[in-house]
């Protein structure tokens, strides 16, 4: 039975595989039975076979095509022809009623609704009953038997129709569920893609903040210092500041290239972590005059991603010292042991101000450290501020307590 859909695909549950073959085989067997029947006149047999042949030829161009394309007019034309042929053969041949069951199955295949299936089944039953009564000259005593037989046939048709309807609805529900699942999968995939895009944007923004933005901050501060020195006639220190500006610009260029090519920090491409930290500390010392001490305890982690997190955290912490602390010295410590690595940045500046633990840089540090499974604490250190990042070592590098 057809659902309320305009088109039915070739592999639809409403047109099971083998259905067409079964129609032609059963119709052909009925035709052979009528051909060999001994109690039927040759002329009646010829007419019956011609009618059956017409039905078989018409099916692919009317009934089947109408089913597949949703053309209800073609389907109705075929159903009218089906009722006429089955009724005609039932009246002209004693074995013509064999087509009755083929007709019922075709009706339920092609009907657009349960009501239509019942209506066409009843029409076929009545038409066969009328032609049997006329064509075979039934006696009045045979009429109840005929009515009973046709009633059984109609009951069979209704049971078959209800069964096919239930199967079709069940399969349609499963097909609808499958479509919903596929749509949900597509929505989920789109959501994952959007989340991935947002995460990548956040990562790039954080990388820019931790590298290029800090470098440009250094360039601005060095340029302002150099300008003031030139105005006071101190050309030698101004020249040193220009050299530092060039060095910072080159580092920024290297960082930009590394960012574009999705590499890690450019300093880690050719250096180990302590050397990269030393270079960052030295640059801060040269640019600001701060006394920066670096201490490394234990074997630094070899994991590249962990090195990136530690270096970026140190860079941001030192940048905060440069911008906000008004300090005279900074202690930078990297300690590894007991399955974890600690990064500590302590200055002797003015300390924490109200609301200063929730800046953009600190939020970025917290996100970066948390993504690596660690934690970040920012606390007063007497005079000054202490930033402490604690991260777990990879299992391959962990050491027992």
Residue 352 sits at the vertex; the CA angle it makes with 348 and 356, to the nearest 5 degrees, is 135
Residue spans of the domains in the chain: they are 17-137, 268-396
pLDDT of the residue at 13: 42
Rg (CA), the chain: 44
CA 349 to CA 87: how far, in whole Å?
Answer: 106
Q: Within the chain, how many helices (H) and strands (E) appear?
A: 13, 5
Which tens digits make up the pLDDT trace of 24-71?
A: 888 888 888 877 765 667 787 888 889 889 999 999 888 888 888 888
CB 89 within 8 A of CB 48: yes
Ramachandran angles phi, psi of 327, nearest 5°: -95, 165
pLDDT digits (tens, 9 = 90+) for 177-218: 888 898 888 888 888 878 877 876 777 777 776 667 777 877
Q: pLDDT tens digit string along 119-131?
A: 888 888 888 888 8
> Minimum mean pLDDT among 59-73, 128-142, 293-307: which range?
128-142
Range with the largest mean pLDDT of 90-99, 101-110, 150-159? 101-110
**Which of 367, 349, 345 has its CA nearest to residue 358?**
367
| Rounded Cα–Cα distance for residues 11 and 280 (Å) | 68
Phi-psi region of 34 (alpha: psi -120 to 50; beta: other; left: phi over 0): alpha
Fold of 268-396: Heat Shock Protein 90 (3.30.565)
Q: Which residues make beta-bridge pairs with 95? A: none
Q: What is the pLDDT of residue 3?
A: 41
Which carries the bigger pLDDT value, residue 187 or residue 287?
A: 187
Region at 236 (left for phi over 0; alpha for psi -120 to 50; beta for the rest):
alpha
- The average confidence (pLDDT) of the chain is 79
Highest mean pLDDT among 46-50, 165-169, 234-238, 319-323 belongs to 46-50
Give the helix, strand, coil percentages of the chain, each rounded to 5. Answer: 70, 10, 20
pLDDT category of residue 355 using cuts at 50, 70 and 90 = low
């Amino acid at each position: 039975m057809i659902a309320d859909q305009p088109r039915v695909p070739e592999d639809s549950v409403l047109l099971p595989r083998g259905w067409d073959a079964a129609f032609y085989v059963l119709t052909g067997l009925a035709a052979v039975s009528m051909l060999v029947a001994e109690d039927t006149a040759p002329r009646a047999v010829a007419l019956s076979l011609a009618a059956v042949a017409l039905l078989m030829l018409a099916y692919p161009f009317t009934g089947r095509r109408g089913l597949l394309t949703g053309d209800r007019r073609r389907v109705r034309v075929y159903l009218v022809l089906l009722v006429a042929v089955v009724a005609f053969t039932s009246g002209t041949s004693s074995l013509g009623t064999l087509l009755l069951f083929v007709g019922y199955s075709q009706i339920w295949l092609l009907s657009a609704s349960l009501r239509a299936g019942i209506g066409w089944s009843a029409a076929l039953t009545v038409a066969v009953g009328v032609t049997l009564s006329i064509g075979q000259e039934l006696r009045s005593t045979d009429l109840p038997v005929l009515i009973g037989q046709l009633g059984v046939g109609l009951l069979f048709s209704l049971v078959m129709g209800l069964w096919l309807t239930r199967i079709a609805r069940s399969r349609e529900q499963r097909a609808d569920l499958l479509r919903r699942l596929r749509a949900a999968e597509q929505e989920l995939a789109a959501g994952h893609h959007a989340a991935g895009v947002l995460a990548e944007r956040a990562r790039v923004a954080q990388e820019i903040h931790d590298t290029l933005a800090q470098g440009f901050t250094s360039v601005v501060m060095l340029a302002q210092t150099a300008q003031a020195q030139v105005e006071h006639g101190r050309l030698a220190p101004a020249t040193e500041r220009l050299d530092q500006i060039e060095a910072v610009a080159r580092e920024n260029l290297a960082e930009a290239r590394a960012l574009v090519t999705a590499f890690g920090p450019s300093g880690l491409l050719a250096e180990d972590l302590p050397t990269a930290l030393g270079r960052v500390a030295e640059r801060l010392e040269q640019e600001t005059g701060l006394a920066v001490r670096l201490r490394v305890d234990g074997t630094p982690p070899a994991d590249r991603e962990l090195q990136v997190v530690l270096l970026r955290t140190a860079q941001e912490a030192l940048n905060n010292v440069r911008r906000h602390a008004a300090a005279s010295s900074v202690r930078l410590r990297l300690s590894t042991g007991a399955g974890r690595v600690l990064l500590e940045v302590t200055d002797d500046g003015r300390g924490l101000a109200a609301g200063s633990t929730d800046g953009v840089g600190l939020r970025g540090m917290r996100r970066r450290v948390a993504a690596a499974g660690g934690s970040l604490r920012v606390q007063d250190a007497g005079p000054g501020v202490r930033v402490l990042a604690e991260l777990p070592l990879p299992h391959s590098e962990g050491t027992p307590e």
